[in-house]
Amino acid sequence: MLQVDNIHSYYGDSHVLQGVSVNVKKGSLSVLLGRNGMGKTTTIRSIIGFTPPRQGKIRFQGNEIQKLPSYRVAQLGIGLVPQGRGVFPNLTVKENLTIAARNSSRRGWTLDRIYELFPRLKERASSMGGNLSGGEQQMLTIGRALMTNPDLLLLDEPSEGLSPLMVQEVENIISALKQEGLSMLMVEQNISMALHVADWVYVMCKGEVVFDGSPDDLKRNDAVKHKYLGMSS
């Protein structure tokens, strides 16, 4: 589905991604872990075309996309739940969702299906985006990305700043999307949540992938957990 192959990405002269390779198989969830500032968001930005790589290739469903502008990448079927959310505060929940709607027979997300997945958003349909709680805003951001009918969803720290209860809710949503067969690449700081849902795990340090394996491989690897994730064993 997605193959990120040895990409190098920069901010100006700053060489941030130094040969990153990451894959997402169809219908599976890959997770990127790592401390702050290691290049996780830059990897997401490189895929969606905000910070295109200067070297390396990104293939999505057989197309090379590393040189495409982000609107084309989105049209090809990649949706983004950005870090820090970004709902439209002066639009209602319903308006936030419908503005993202894209005609597509492929997967067919509709307002009704979004409300089925997020009953809370249905209750809040007429509320302004800016008046939602952090958890509700995260639901709305995920719902909005789904309304574009993506084949691959990129999620950048969806649990950031949420209460434990809402983190559990986000985990449930992600599990439900997996059941639907959606392919996903998720960045997370909440390691235990990430390992519950991941099919494959990448750990990044200083712009490089320093570990990849199954969630069980990582759970058994005390050295990686300690060195790169700051976990005591």
Ligand X SMILES: Nc1ncnc2c1ncn2[C@@H]1O[C@H](COP(=O)(O)OP(=O)(O)O)[C@@H](O)[C@H]1O
* Per-residue DSSP letter, 147: T
Identify residues 40-69 at the interface with ligand X (CB under 6 A).
Answer: 40-42
Closest approach, Cβ 198 to ligand X, in A, equals: 17
Question: Is position 233 an interface residue for ligand X (rule: CB under 6 A)?
Answer: no
- Residues in contact with ligand X, counted by CB under 6 A, come to a total of 11
11-19, 65-73, 117-125, 131-139 -> range binding ligand X (CB under 6 A): 11-19
Q: Which of 7, 22, 24, 39 binds ligand X (CB under 6 A)?
A: 39
End-to-end CA, the chain: 34
* Per-residue DSSP letter, 217: H
Question: Is position 43 an interface residue for Mg ion (rule: CB under 5 A)?
Answer: no
Q: Smallest Cα–Cα separation from 185: which of 33, 63, 61?
A: 33
Closest approach, Cβ 83 to ligand X, in A, equals: 7
Closest approach, Cβ 45 to ligand X, in A, equals: 7
Which two tokens mark 29?
């969830």
33-41, 71-79, 130-138, 212-220 -> range binding ligand X (CB under 6 A): 33-41
* C-beta of 61 vs 70, nearer to Mg ion: 70
Q: Smallest Cα–Cα separation from 200: which of 215, 178, 188, 187?
A: 215
Q: Which of 30, 41, 51, 149 binds Mg ion (CB under 5 A)?
A: 41
Question: Is position 34 an interface residue for ligand X (rule: CB under 6 A)?
Answer: yes
* Under 8 Å between Cβ of 168 and 175: no
Burial 191-209, CB ≥16 within 10 A → b, else e = bebbbebbbbbbbbbebeb
Residue bearing tokens 């309304």: 147
Q: Which residues bind ligand X (CB under 6 A)?
A: 11, 14, 16, 34, 36-42
